[in-house]
Amino acid sequence: MREQSVNAKNFYIVASEPQDETLQVRISGPYLTRQAAQADLRAAIDEALDIDPTASRYEYKISKVESRKPGVIQHMASHA
């Protein structure tokens, strides 16, 4: 039986510092579709605010990123 391959590029919800766009963090994902990420966007922002109250000043967007690593929220949940 062949192993199912994982997409190298997936959608992530990304937070960035408005004053420096190079400072970006994948907070949630991976998602297979943009629609799935969009559906989770509000909940991901709310969770980011629970973790870090200064997250309200960040800008959030959905980006297709090459990575197999989970976003911060999923990483923290797996270690809770």
pLDDT at 62: 96
Query: Does residue 30 lie in a domain region?
Result: yes
Please, what are the averages of pLDDT over each run of 10 residues along the chain (80 residues)? 62 92 88 95 94 92 86 67
Q: Which H/E stretch holds residue 62?
A: strand 59-66
Count of domains forming the chain: 1
Range of the domain at 16: 9-66
pLDDT at 4: 44
pTM for the structure as a whole? 0.78
pLDDT at 44: 94
DSSP string, 21-57: EEEEEEEEEEESSHHHHHHHHHHHHHHHHHH-GGGGG
Query: Does residue 59 lie in a domain region?
Result: yes
Q: How far is CA 80 from CA 15, 28, 59, 75, in A?
A: 22, 16, 26, 9
In sequence order, what are the beta bridge partners of 25?
15
Query: Does residue 77 lie in a domain region?
Result: no
